[in-house]
Amino acid sequence: MAAARHILLTGGNSGIGFEAAVVLCRAGHRLTLPCRDRATAEAAGRRVLERAGTGLPPVPAVCNLADLESVRACAAAQRARGTAIDTLVLNAGLQYAGASEPRRTAQGHELSFGVNHLGHFLLAHQLWPLLAAGRSPRLVVTASEVHDPTTAGGKVGAPAGLGALAGLVPGQGTTLVDGSAPFSADKAYKDSKLCNVLFAREFARRLEARGTPAAVIAWSPGLVIPPTSTGGFWRYSRQSNELGQRLFALAARSLLRLTESVENAGALLAALAVDDAYAASGFTYFRNRVTAPGRHLFEATATSSEGQDPELARRLWEASAALVGVGADRP
């Protein structure tokens, strides 16, 4: 069994993150679970400990990824607490499928980009001193295969693509990252997952350049649809999409058998966070892909071609730093 680690995990109150937290708590690891408000964080900790049946009570924290001021306050509180972080897991995410108009964060950024990428970018930036002080530091970022237009999920609808980052001009109020129109919430989500991949790649490169290499992992859990398909991850989707979402979930889960269970995906995330098998320094992308109905293969693989572009990764990092108001030189 892996030695006990301190893991800060976003999105631990539902879905994959919750299942991962249960596995990690049961194995004796120390958890900090930031959620969008105190009540949610405390309730998540109680439910994790109850499901785990043993382990240390998770420490609640407040971090609303849709508000950069909340992210800063969360990071400041963690730095004041002074506990080193061995693994930082950036797992929280949202999608508001089917919307034709953008929703916004507190600072005016498009919501899926703001939460899935920008809030996490700032959190990682601000928590770097604690992660650097950790034992064999590791960063895990939950991305998705839809970042890659050649995959089954990536082929549906408009493909991911960041172009020249025209939508990230400071003060513009991000809509689509590439600046294209009309708005598509589905493309915005795919683009945010491509941002996750590029962020992880650039994070690893910067650590290597500093002479402090660490394990940086981006991963795709596969198609995971919780039993309640309109809660949690889907909480921002339109009510009018509910029937379509339920029919899609039924077909994918029961008829085509393309989905991965929340429990299995959570176990994969827990392993990425702590197992020695995933401790190698540098950037790695893991994908949980379908090989046959009801069967998956979890393996290291290449990202999309755009996800391999080092210059795009650098420019996204610099643009993101400008949007959140921090220096682009850390880590």
Here the CATH number for the domain that contains residue 63 is 3.40.50.720
The angle at the Cα of 157, spanning 154 to 162, to the nearest 5 degrees, equals: 65
For residue 198, the enclosing domain spans 6-324
Tell me the mean pLDDT in the region 28-43. Answer: 98
Tell me the C-alpha distance between 287 and 304, whole Å.
12
Q: Convert 248-282 to b/e letters by CB count within 10 Å (16 or more is b).
A: ebeeebeeeebbbbbebbbbbbbbbbbeeebeebe
Q: Is residue 331 part of a domain?
A: no
Q: Check pLDDT > 70 for residue 149.
A: yes
pTM of the model: 0.91
pLDDT digits (tens, 9 = 90+) for 266-293: 999 999 999 999 999 999 999 998 776 6
User: Among 110-114, 192-196, 251-255, whose mean pLDDT is lowest?
Assistant: 251-255
Judged by DSSP in three states, 244 sits in: helix
Q: Is residue 1 part of a domain?
A: no
Tell me the mean pLDDT in the region 209-227. Answer: 89
pLDDT digits (tens, 9 = 90+) for 45-70: 999 999 999 999 999 999 999 999 99
The one-letter amino acid at 100: S
Q: Is residue 96 part of a domain?
A: yes
Domains in the chain: how many in total?
1
Give the contacts of 276 (CB within 8 A, at least 6 positions apart).
Answer: 2
Q: Is residue 309 part of a domain?
A: yes
Using the structure block, give the residue that is written with the tokens 């949007």.
323
Q: Can you give the pLDDT at residue 231? A: 45
Q: Is residue 140 part of a domain?
A: yes
Q: Can you give the pLDDT at residue 257? A: 46
Confidence of residue 230 (pLDDT cuts 50, 70, 90): very low
For residue 282, what are its two tokens?
A: 């540098």
Q: Is residue 169 part of a domain?
A: yes
Read out DSSP for 97-156? Answer: TT-SS--B-TTS-BHHHIIIIIIHHHHHHHHHHHHHTSSS-EEEEE--GGGSTTSHHHHS
Contact 145, 151 (CB under 8 A): yes
List the one residue out of 33, 271, 263, 51 whose CA is nearest residue 140. 271
Phi, psi of 184 (to 5 degrees): -135, 120
Phi, psi of 115 (to 5 degrees): -85, -55
Q: Is residue 211 part of a domain?
A: yes
Q: Is residue 73 part of a domain?
A: yes
The one-letter amino acid at 39: A
